[in-house]
Amino acid sequence: MSPLFDLTGKRALITGSSQGIGLALARGLAQHGAAVILNGRTEAKLEAAAEELRAEGFTVETAAFDVTDPAAVKYAVDGIEGNGPIDILINNAGMQFRTPLEDFPEEEWTRLMRTNVDSVFYVGKAVAKGMIARGAGRMVNIASVQAELARPGIAPYTTTKGAVRNLTRGMSTDWAQHGLRVNALAPGYFKTPLNKALVEDPAFTEWLQKRTPAGRWGNVDELVGAAVFLASDAASFTTGQTIFVDGGITTSL
């Protein structure tokens, strides 16, 4: 393995990592040598995911806490740091809710904002304290092609992912002087539990295949390369950027 991409000796916290993109990224970092800490709200799902990775020979911890609760976040991060530094943070926790904007429930708007934006701020701030003290750290916030594009029925989700992209820029601007690198990864349309309804919709899949230059859905393991790059020394002078991994959908009309 090239030393530029070697994560041996690093500990990585991945939020929302009991399934989908989060679990794929945790596996990818572990394959490159990192010890990973899985996060979610359900202990049973976390342990199942952890056992899956341990069976593959990886070093895995779990940390069940609600990323939308700032007090719970601080308590959990302090506990994790008590066992060793968090060198890498991937802010992946997120949710979706689809309905026409004129009918969008206010409580779902609030839940989207708390889950997709507030959590990035809460976890990022808590983890940054230790990173700043050590003078080093890598953060990857999971944005979306919806940071750049909009579709009917998901305007609030689009709002949250645009906020994540700009929060990434703000974090980088404030924290680069302390040795932190903060970037965002923006997936296109991937086969995940979050997109289950769309994956199972033949009409949507046909539209996506025509709309995307690559002509298909993405597979979650295709996000690993970009995540490892951003978490590694290969990206030592890369900060404040958003990398789109989307099969070309944001580049073409």
Asked whether residue 246 is domain-assigned, the answer is no
Residue 240 lies in a domain: no
Nearest to 89 by CA among 135, 47, 123: 123
Residue 170 has pLDDT above 80, yes or no: yes
Flag whether 57 is in a domain.
yes
pLDDT at 131: 98
Find where tokens 């998901």 sit. 154
CA R_g for the chain: 17
The pLDDT-based confidence of 194 (bands split at 50, 70, 90) is: confident
Predicted pLDDT at 42: 95
Q: Flag whether 253 is in a domain.
A: no
Tell me: the pLDDT tens digits for 28-71? Answer: 999 999 999 999 999 999 999 999 999 999 999 999 999 999 99
Q: Which residues contact 110 (CB under 8 A, 6 or more apart)?
A: none
* CATH number, position 222: 3.40.50.720
pLDDT number for residue 195: 87
Q: How many domains does the chain have?
A: 1
**pLDDT at residue 2, as a whole number:** 85
Per-residue pLDDT at 253 exceeds 90: no
Domain range for 51 is 3-235
> What pLDDT is recorded for position 143?
98
Say what percent of the chain tops pLDDT 70.
100
The answer to whether the predicted template modeling score (pTM) of the entire model surpasses 0.85 is: yes
Length of the chain: 253
**83-89: average pLDDT:** 98
Secondary structure letter of residue 194 according to DSSP: G
Whether 242 shows a pLDDT value over 80: the answer reads yes
**Please, what is the average pLDDT of the chain?**
97
Amino acid at 96: Q
- How far apart CA 229 and CA 185 sit, in angstroms, is 11
Check pLDDT > 80 for residue 1.
no
Backbone angles phi, psi at 71, to 5 degrees: -70, -45
The whole-number pLDDT of residue 33 equals 98
Residues with catalytic function: 157
Residue range 176-190: mean pLDDT, rounded: 98
- The one-character DSSP state at 190 is B
219-231 mean pLDDT: 98
Considering the domain boundaries, does residue 21 fall inside one? yes
205, amino acid identity: T
Q: Is residue 250 part of a domain?
A: no
pLDDT of residue 201: 96
CB 176 within 8 A of CB 214: no
Burial of residue 197 (CB within 10 Å: 0-12, 13-18, 19+) is exposed
Q: What is the pLDDT of residue 193?
A: 85
- Residue 249 is assigned to a structural domain of this protein: no
Average pLDDT of span 200-209 = 96
- Say how far apart CA 117 and CA 156 lie, in whole Å: 11
Asked if 58 and 14 count as a contact pair (C-beta separation under 8 A), the reply is no
Would you say residue 213 lies in a domain?
A: yes
What's the pLDDT at 168? 98
Instruction: Specify whether the CB–CB gap between 204 and 153 falls below 8 A.
Output: no
Report the C-alpha gap between 78 and 70 in whole angstroms: 12
| 111 exposure class (CB count in 10 Å sphere: 0-12, 13-18, 19+) | middle
Mean pLDDT value of segment 144-164: 97
pLDDT of residue 183: 99
Separation CA 118–CA 69 (nearest Å): 9
- The token duo for 214 is 């690559």
